[in-house]
Amino acid sequence: MRVEDAPNEKWLGGASSDRSSKGETMKEAIMMKAAIAVDVGGTYLKLGLIHEEGRILTSLSIPTPVGEGADAILHKISDGVKQIAASSIAEGVEILGVGLGIPGYVLKDRGLVTQAVNLHWRDYPAKEKLQRLIPYPVFMDNDANLAALGEMWKGAGVGAKELIMVTLGTGVGGGILIHGEIVSGVNGIGGEIGHMPVRLDGERCNCGRFGCLETESSATAMRRKAVEALQQGRESLLRKVYEERGRVTPRDMAEAASVGDSLALEIFDSAAYSLAFALGALINSLNPERILIGGGVSAAGELLMNPLRKHLERFALPEALEVLTLEIAKLGNDAGMIGGGYLVFQSVQALS
């Protein structure tokens, strides 16, 4: 298993694009083709104008009006798209379409979101409704799938067509690429790595089942395990943080683990063990050339990656590990927007 050095990332934000350092301005985009990408989250809507070469030219963040209903969210997206379009078209940019990333199950061919728990959407025709509000073609997919596309195009996955990406954040997201194409499955559930079962006697998951990877390796799961151990009297450097704030974060755990705190080290090891269990099954069945780990927890670097490599040797076939590169994703919070742009360019090209 080949392992790349982890990038120097900031905690819980991941690596982000330095637009100013690249000297990219709107004037440089004159006569260039671009896409508008929308990363839909339960808290914020992130929109970006994506250059045809994969650079983010400008971006916009808008609070998600979840409590106002699904249509209100689409109207906010429409407002943001029109705001970005107005300034970019004035600079001579041709907008080819809008790429929409949804945190849920997406039937992209039908433009239907069958379920998006954080948005309270079920069987919602998001593509058709947004298409009525804006003058650009709309393309959509699951947000984790788009993050995987973004990493394949401009991140740590460049050159890899057989790729798996896992994001460890509040939950666990995943995207699987075979021959460079997203694995969506029959009804849009393909790539839901976070709901692979890893413990028969595990905690109840938001999906309603028990023992999903999300209940063992997400930031939420790590926080739960730390608090449970502290409440049971476990000695740890985390105790002071917990008593002062009433909670602990993966960042707190990483700081404690870096100086040898046994509880923090055990929590990272446990998260890595369950992740390796799930990835081992995928490696043995799909034989990917690259696996990327993203999301806030990945900023722990080798505190996560070292035990993950160790446990993968137990669960994955050695022949598969020999040709596998395991590394941390590079695009951070920009991955989904860059992937949304790629989706537009890819789809428009396929239609032409």
Q: Convert the pLDDT of each residue in 246-270 to its tens digit.
A: 999 999 999 999 999 999 999 999 9
**Residue 278, CA distances (Å) to 85, 129, 203, 311, 325 in order:** 42, 37, 16, 11, 17
Q: What is the pLDDT of residues 167-223, one digit of tens each?
A: 999 899 999 999 999 999 998 899 999 999 999 999 999 889 999 999 999 999 999
Opening angle at CA 164, ends 163 and 168, nearest 5: 145
**In whole numbers, what is the pLDDT of the chain averaged over residues?**
91
**Pair 168, 300: CB distance under 8 Å:** no
Predicted pLDDT at 274: 98
**Pair 155, 348: CB distance under 8 Å:** no
Number of CB atoms found within 10 A of residue 352's CB: 5
**Pair 97, 73: CB distance under 8 Å:** no
Sheet holding 290-294, edge to edge: 2-3, 325-328, 290-294, 163-168, 172-178, 181-182
**Residue 158 β-bridge partners:** none
Q: Which two tokens stand for residue 152?
A: 């394949």
Dist CA 10 CA 315 (whole Å): 31
Predicted pLDDT at 352: 78
For the chain, first and last CA: distance in Å?
40
Q: Tokens 């395990």, residue?
A: 225
Domains and CATH numbers, the chain: 13-152+333-351 (3.30.420.40), 158-329 (3.30.420.40)
- Which stretches of the chain score pLDDT less than 70? 1-31
Question: pTM here?
Answer: 0.87
